[in-house]
Amino acid sequence: MKFSEEFEQRFAEMVPHYPTKRSALVPTLLYAQDEIGFLSDEVIAEIAVRLDLTELEVRNVISYYSMLTTQPRGKFNVQVCTNISCMVRGGEEILEHCSQNLGIGHKGTTPDGLFSLEEVECIGACSWAPAAQVNYDFHENLTPDKMDRVLEEYRKSGKQ
């Protein structure tokens, strides 16, 4: 299992910040996922060894956090918030619109592996609702048209 130089640097810097090794687990998992795309068996085994944990202990933690996944996702993970502040400003319509545009439903992935779609809980964009995140980027004050433009940009950048 080989991670990037950047990951290794981050990991080496992070572990001594805590009195116990396992404390670095959650951020380490997220950085690993960002790099590999999902938490594969291989990644889980590697992180378990590094932090002196069993694979079961690592899986136990993964299953708790909504951002962590053991299944591959699309290159661009479109996460649409439909919680209360977004809902009353049309968040559900945005989700439905994305579903139409991409041809997939909640937790689905397009056949070309470019997009996946997820209905998510509050992402902290309430005052700029409705909002979505594509990977880590926020897109706010959305309308169906604006959402189409956002998706089109990613579609273009993904095909390059």
Partner 1 sequence: MADLVFHPDEVKVVSRRFGQGATDIDRYLELDGYKAVEKALAMEPDAIVNEVKNSALRGRGGAGFSTGMKWSFVPKQSAKPKYVLCNGDESEPGTCKDRLLFEHDPHAVIEGVVIGGLAVGARSGYIYIRGEYRYLSVIMQKALRDAYAKGFLGKNIFGSGRDFDIYWHGGAGAYEVGEESALMESLEGKRGIPRIRPPFPAVVGLWGGPTVINNAETLANVPHIILGGADWYAKLGTPKNGGTRLFCLSGNIAKPGVYELPMGYNLKKMLYEVGGGIPNRRKLKAVVPGGSSCPCLTADEIDVSMDFDSVMKAGSMLGSGGVVVIDDQQCIVKFALRTMKFYRHESCGWCIPCREGTDWLEKTLIRFHAGGGLKKDIDNMQYLSENMLGRTFCPLGDAAAMPTIAFIKKFRKEFEDHLEGRPCPYEPEGAVERLPVLSH
User: Which of 112/138 has CB closer to partner 1?
Assistant: 138
Residue 18: CB atoms within 10 Å: 11
Percent helix, strand and coil across the chain, each to the nearest 5: 50, 10, 35
Rounded CA-CA distance 29/17 in Å is 16
Q: Measured from the CB of residue 15, what is the shortest distance to partner 1 in angstroms?
A: 11
Rounded CA-CA distance 83/123 in Å is 9
Q: Measured from the CB of residue 74, what is the shortest distance to partner 1 in angstroms?
A: 17
Q: Measured from the CB of residue 126, what is the shortest distance to partner 1 in angstroms?
A: 4
Q: Measured from the CB of residue 102, what is the shortest distance to partner 1 in angstroms?
A: 21
Prior bond to 130 cis, omega within 30? yes
User: Which of 23/99 has CB closer to partner 1?
Assistant: 23
Which residues are at the interface with partner 1 (CB under 8 A)? 17-20, 22-27, 29-30, 51, 60-61, 64-68, 82-85, 87-89, 121-129, 133, 136-138, 140
User: Which of 74/91 has CB closer to partner 1?
Assistant: 91
DSSP code, position 120:
E
